[in-house]
Structure 1
């Protein structure tokens, strides 16, 4: 079975997030980075799936679109179960919104499949921890002509395909999908393992394939919208008294306002 996981390099959870001067991007100058938590769970789920399957003819391919520094996240994935790694180097001069990101990932998936065969299952995080756009996985699956279900909290491989479970307020929705297909995984589907020393050492030697970056889609762009507070109304203070003698005046005022 061939499984592809698309991951993203994001600011470390718990970091103090500052924005750039134009308030359109995260200022990454002094931030640490990690793998987006939903996608970290997707890597673990793929590793568990191949561990449950018989035989050795399985692949867990991890793909990311980002700067050269994203190799850090790829090597971490290799230390916890990834068997093949691929990096699409994203030019920093472009605005990588969901539309452009999906085009680049779709092109990379097609290149990987042309070289190594079709992926039975493609896993995405339900949404990225930084942008939270919920779009990339759906756009990629649509472009590849494959079914996708988001919000997944359980995956089983059967002889006929994939059974996926999505949690709802009333219980679980169960989806049966034929392969090839795609799923958007939510954090909590599993508890990601910690890498062993052996895994970390092996990940340093792992080969990372660099793929060409497709830049065909125009960026959608962002617009800043501000809500202005309405002007405050002037208020007038009226003293009705400062002793028990003011009680009748208070009653009369409440009656006038319709409270009594």
Structure 2
């Protein structure tokens, strides 16, 4: 058996993943680095200060965010050459849709040793909860606020043969789902919110189904949206998928309810589906 002995952190830049919900998700190694760091670079000192208060210690904090200047990076690099400097984001793994890559690049060029302390990542957790293919995935972060720019980016993503992962705000989720449905077709998807928190929820369905649901019920909390890949050539077509869904629904539901459920899932006309069911039964 190999036993890893933890030593005091040496000089360098330590990229430290912090909890995205449950504070118990912080690793023992991450805690040790934070406790012994000469300096902690963070997005918001109030957020990181609250985490340190929960852990029971204080360390010097310096702000490092999207507005950081070259002089801010020079200060951190100089400190990391002399002792351990930790880089954290407000939650999750730094650099994943957060500032930091310039600091890492310039620190390496200056001869600083870079360490990454693995831990929580909303992208990875959402993928494990979604029940969609994970052999290949593309993380896009946030789509643009403006509809035109958003639609152009979605069009560019349509040809990527992988599961797509986005961050999205609660107030924009319905519009985002509708735009993805229009630009990508009616793919399978999952809305994962409040990861690792008390009200964690994963809702799955097609883009049309999810868009309709959130159009009526605006969610709360932080959201990761996972969209499955397009159906490959030679795979199941939309028509085949509808037929399979109808057969499954009719096994446990009356025709009217089955038509309603499948219509909602695929964004189809309920009356037309009901008529199709009855015609097939009469035939």
Q: TM-score when scaled to structure 1? A: 0.28
Q: Which has the higher contact order (CA 8 A, sep 6+)?
A: 1
The structure with more strand, counted as a fraction of residues: 1
The structure with more helix, counted as a fraction of residues: 2
From the CA coordinates, give the structure whose radius of gyration is larger. 1
Q: TM-score when scaled to structure 2? A: 0.26
